[in-house]
Amino acid sequence: MGERLLKIGRLLRPKLDRLYNISGGIAAVALIAILLIMLAQVVARWTRTTFPGSTDYAGYAMAAASFFAFAYALNHGAHIRVSLFLQRLSRRGRRAAELWCYGVGSFLACYFAWFAVKAVHVSYVLGDVSQGRDATPLWIPQLVMGFGTVVLAIALIDRFLQILFGGELPSGDSAVGRTE
C-alpha cells in the first residue's frame, strides 16, 4: 500500500507543481492588470473622460491576485509561519504540530472553497450584478475566488499528505520535498 501511494505521489507531483505555478502566473497577470487599470484611470483623468467601473475592476483583479497567489506561496515556502515556535519542538513534536496545522488548514480551506463555489452558483442563478456603474455579473469575479480557494485547499491537502507519509518537514524558507 505504501509503495502504491508513493507511486501515485510521484505521478501527481509534477502536475500539482504545475498547477501551483499556473496559479502564481495568474496572480502575476492580475497584478499587471491592476497596474494597467490604474494607468487607464490616470489617462482618463488627463483626457477628462471616465473609466466606468475601474475601481471595481481593480478590486476584482486584487481578489484574483490574492486568491491565486495563496497556493503558489504555500508551495514555495513564502507563506507566514510560526517558525520560532516550531523550531523549539522536537522532530516528533514538530511533525505532530505541522500535521495538526495543515490538517486544520486543509479543513478550513475546503470549507471556504465549498462556500466560495456555492456563492458562484447562487450569484449565477440569481443573476446578481455588481452595484457599480459597470453592473458586472458577480459570478464572474466570484469564480476567480472559487478557483483560487479550491487550488489553496488542494495545496494544503497536498502538504498535509506529504508530511503524513514521511515527507521532510518544511523549514522556514523552503517547501516540503523541495531540494535546492
In this predicted model, what pLDDT tens digit does every residue of 1-58 receive, in sequence order? 567 767 777 888 899 999 999 999 999 999 999 999 999 999 999 999 988 888 889 9
Over the chain, what is the mean pLDDT?
86
| pLDDT > 50? residue 173 | no
**Residues 129-151: tens digit of each pLDDT:** 888 777 889 999 899 999 999 99
Q: Phi first, then psi: give them for residue 168, nearest 5 degrees.
A: -70, 150
Classified as helix, coil or strand, 174 is strand
Residue 172's CB is within 10 A of a number of other CB atoms, namely 11
Cell of 36: 494597467
The model's pTM is 0.82
CA dihedral 68, 73, 76, 82 (to 10 degrees): -150
Alpha-carbon distance of 98 to 80, in angstroms, equals 13
Q: In this predicted structure, what is the pLDDT of residue 2? A: 63
What are the structural domain ranges in the chain?
2-164
| Confidence bin at 119 (pLDDT 50/70/90) | very high
Is 60 exceeded by the pLDDT of residue 177?
A: no
